[in-house]
């Protein structure tokens, strides 16, 4: 892959026509029963933080959830709130719904528990998607991260077939579409941190990430309301 300068990357971020999709799961037992997307980081929720960053690259924002009301109250009217087509649970169900209703041919899809999503990293991934692949997925820290992936809308058809066969994992989709990995070096060479794949799974994760973002605040000050 040819190197892209920082100025070219910034131009890519400003000019891209792309749908942004956040998969907002339901209550999380390890986080006290509250949705991780509503965790507070300073003066905003995690989902608000994600929307703000993703809008640097996406001119359409979609939140997929089975509980729309909190997001309708929290987010501005330009964020589309949609629900799953299928009753099955799992990230692939949300991926399918988002791709089906996205207005652009391509979409950047993230999980709701990722506080460091990066428009700059997604712009690098989009270079790979333009080579003819149906999906561009980061391969960093020794693993694949289909959430923070870029997908062509054509992947929705394959997702539907998988869901109807009982498969709902995001990684399953990669076995059925033409995808390419975006290696860690592609991000590092552009001076980008690979922290964009980090997520919040436990209260300990939340406290650690919260202290990074707001070192002057304690965990008690940022409890979910």
Cβ burial, residue 120 (10 Å; 0-12/13-18/19+): buried
Residue 155 in contact with residue 173, Cβ under 8 Å? yes
Binding annotation for Mg(2+)? 113
Specify the pTM: 0.88
Q: Which domains does the chain have, with CATH numbers?
A: 6-215 (3.90.550.10)
Share the mean pLDDT of the chain: 88
Beta strand pairing call for 60-64 and 19-23: parallel
pLDDT at res. 41: 87
Q: What is the mean pLDDT of residues 1-26?
A: 68
Which H/E stretch holds residue 173?
A: helix 170-173
Burial track 81-106 (b if 16+ CB lie within 10 A, e otherwise): bbebbbeeebbbbbbbbbbebbeeeb
Residues belonging to the binding site for GTP are 23-25, 36, 84, 113
Binding-site annotation: residue ranges: 23-25, 36, 84, 113
């Amino acid at each position: 892959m040819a190197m892209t300068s920082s100025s070219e990357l910034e131009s890519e971020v400003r000019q891209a026509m792309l749908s942004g999709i956040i998969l907002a799961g339901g209550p999380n037992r390890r986080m006290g029963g509250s949705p991780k997307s509503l965790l507070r980081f300073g003066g905003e929720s995690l989902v608000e933080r994600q929307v703000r960053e993703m809008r640097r690259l996406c001119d359409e924002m979609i939140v997929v959830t089975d509980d729309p009301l909190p997001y309708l109250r929290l987010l501005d009217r330009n964020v589309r709130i949609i629900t799953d087509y299928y009753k099955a649970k799992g990230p692939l169900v949300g991926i399918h719904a988002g791709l089906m209703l996205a207005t652009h041919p391509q979409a950047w899809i993230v999980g709701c528990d990722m506080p460091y999503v990066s428009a700059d990293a997604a712009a690098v991934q989009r270079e790979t998607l333009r080579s003819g692949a149906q999906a561009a997925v980061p391969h960093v820290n020794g693993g694949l991260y289909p959430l923070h992936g870029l997908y062509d809308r054509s992947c929705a058809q394959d997702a539907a077939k998988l869901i109807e066969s009982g498969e709902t994992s995001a990684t399953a989709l990669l076995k059925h579409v033409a995808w390419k990995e975006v290696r860690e070096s592609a991000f590092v060479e552009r001076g980008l941190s690979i922290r964009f794949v980090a997520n919040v799974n436990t209260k300990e994760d939340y406290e650690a990430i919260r202290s990074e973002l707001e070192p002057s605040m304690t965990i008690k000050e940022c409890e979910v309301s």
